[in-house]
Structure 1
Amino acid sequence: MTQRKLYYVSISGKRIEPEPSINDQLTVLGTPDEMNKLQQQLDQIQRDDEITQFRAPIPYKSSEHDIATDKFNEDLIKVYHAIYELGTDETRAHIRQMNILAKLEDTDYNYPGYER
Structure 2
Amino acid sequence: MADERKKTYYVSMATGEISQLKTASPWDFQIEATDEEIARLREYFDQNYSTDWQAFWRAHVPYIQYHYDRENDAYDRTMVDLYKMIYELGNDEAKAHIRSMGILPDEHDA
Q: Check whether the contact 2:10–2:27 (CA below 8 A) recurs between aligned residues.
A: no
8 A Cα contact 1:55 1:63, kept in partner:
no
SS of 1:7's equivalent in the other structure is strand
Cα RMSD for the two superposed structures: 1.7
User: Corresponding residue for 2:7?
Assistant: 5
Paired residues for 1:1-116 under 5 Å: 2-20=4-22, 21-101=24-104
TM-score, normalised to structure 1, is: 0.78
For 2:101 and 2:25, locate their aligned partners in 1 and report how far apart those are by CA, in whole Å: 20
Deviations 1:69-99 (A, max 9, x none): 1111111111111111111111000000111
Q: 5+ unaligned residues in a row in structure 1: which ranges?
A: 103-116
The one-letter amino acid paired with 1:16 is I
SS in 2 for 1:90: helix
TM-score for both structures, normalised by structure 2: 0.82
Deviation at 1:22, TM superposition (A): 4.4
* Pairwise CA distance, 1:100: 2.5
Matched AA of 2:10: Y
Counterpart AA for 1:67: R
Structure that is richer in helix per residue? 2
User: Where does structure 2 lack aligned partners over 5 or more consecutive residues?
Assistant: 106-110
Cα deviation for residue 49 of structure 1 reads 0.7
CA contact (8 A) 1:8 1:25 kept: yes
Q: For this pair of structures, how many residues does the alignment match? A: 102
Residue identity in the other structure for 1:25: D
> Percent identical across equivalent pairs?
32
How far apart in 2 are the matches of 1:22 and 1:7? 12
Structure 1 residue 62 displacement after superposition = 1.2
